[in-house]
Amino acid sequence: MAKKPRILLIDDEEGLCRMLEAVLGDEGYEVRAYNRPVPAVKDFVAGRYDLVITDIKMPEMSGIEVLQKIKEKDPAIPVIVITAHATVDMSISAMRKGAYDMVTKPFEPDELLFRVKNALRLNLLASENQSLREELEGRFRFERIIGTSEKLRAVLDKVEKLAVRDTSILITGESGTGKELIAQAVHYNSPRKEGRFVAINCGALPESVLESELFGYKKGAFTGATEDKEGLLKAADGGTLFLDEVGNLPMNVQKTLLRFLQEQEFRRIGDTHTTKVDVRILSATNADLREAVKAGTFREDLYYRLNVVNIHLPPLRERKPDIALLADHFIREQNERFGTRVKGLSPEAMEVASDFSWPGNIRQLRNAIEGALAMESGDYITLPTLAQFIEIDETQPRERGSDEDYSSALSQFETSYLKELLRKAQGNVEEAARLAGMNMATIYRKLKKYNIRKEDYL
């Protein structure tokens, strides 16, 4: 049952106040009425009401002052002001202070109800949009990071703690482990989430291009600079700049970046003036920067500026419980993209995939699944198909095909899959069933079978 919209009503005319309270109450609204503005403002708490209706001319405090103080506590709440003497100046003042609407006395109850319904509809839409945005951001930034292994959970716990602290983070790990996804998770769970997330691969651009991309340049700074260019640091103002493969920064760019980290300002190429910006720097590398410092190819002072906190991503071979979940995720992605209906890996293929070292990590697994799906014509990706995309060590003895092998592989997969579902659904079994396209009774039966407690994921 939907909750009743809650309205705060403030008017010093007791008769009018009682009449409005009755009219609004008959329409199904929950109304709290005050004849004095001071206690009404004092008792107001953000989130308690969906709408405020206030008279303009009252003793102790005017309706404009009420509007201002209410908006200080809850900027999003709509406020309707009532006045017997509306003037252009008063209307402009009320709207500038954040009033949603103004009603002039005398008025018919139907007129006020019409204004109230419009204001509440707007407030509900704004609330739904905000909730949807938060849901989509959270889903994109965390649900794309697939896995239930202890090592991955430790990384995500660290991300949650560090995201809110505006400090530099160095993300380390082998190529293909998902360092940019972690950087995105940090950004979109930080106070900077409304700002831009700007990424650049420092190893993919020549030195001259990299410097101009980062810092920008003035028109005429060099041959070909036919107009001013805004660098990525400026573009990320108020947000986050992600420097991927930061170990490839040339020494002159390292020097300029260090100065920026110290002063929060920089000079565009060819500019005589400095530019100040507010940017959080996240960086990533698959190289050992400490060795680069010893070798003299990376500045020690810059290393310590970037590596205030370190997040290390484990390779996929250390996240074996996540391989089945990742494979299933990539298969579903490809099915949706190409309209195919491959159900998964065969037991033999899953066994080999789980034992494989995946030197290219998640990127290699994704590519192998994509290639195998393009070649597979059956319901499952078979071992011969998968073997076309990874090098299998045939010297290792492996007994395949028995009922016990299949049951064991299925149990491991279902356990990991159910845990991942519950994590996504935050312990809500109904939501988990919806995500999986399964019956709730089936989900409950399997949770009992594998002794998985939904309470552990609330």
CB 7: neighbour CB atoms within 10 A?
24
> Domains in the chain and their CATH numbers?
6-133 (3.40.50.2300), 143-314 (3.40.50.300), 317-457 (1.10.8.60)
Token pair for 140: 């994109």
Q: What does the pLDDT read at residue 92?
A: 72
Are 435 and 421 contacting, i.e. CB atoms less than 8 angstroms apart? yes
Give me the pLDDT at residue 294, please.
Answer: 95
- In angstroms, what CA-CA distances link 445 with 241, 438, 439, 453? 46, 12, 10, 12
Q: Are 258 and 301 in contact (CB under 8 A)?
A: yes
By the 8 A CB rule, do 197 and 188 touch? yes
Instruction: Determine the Cα–Cα distance for residues 302 and 171; give it in Å rounded to an integer.
Output: 15
Phi, psi of 188 (to 5 degrees): -80, 0
pLDDT of residue 41: 92
Write down the pLDDT at residue 143: 59
Which residues of the chain carry a pLDDT beneath 70?
1-3, 86-89, 91, 122-144, 224, 393-410, 437
- Per-residue tokens: 406: 């299949």
| Helix locations, 164-297, DSSP H | 179-188, 207-215, 232-235, 251-263, 289-295
Q: Residue 386: name the closest of 404, 374, 398, 399 by CA.
A: 374
State how far the Cα of 33 lies from the Cα of 48, in Å rounded to an integer: 14
Place of tokens 């308690």: 48
pTM exceeds 0.75 for this model: no
CA distances from 358 to 114, 145, 176, 322, 325 (A): 63, 17, 10, 12, 15
Residue 142 has a pLDDT of 61
Q: State how far the Cα of 267 lies from the Cα of 412, in Å rounded to an integer.
A: 56
Cα–Cα dist 228/219, whole Å:
5
Q: Give pLDDT, residue 292.
A: 94
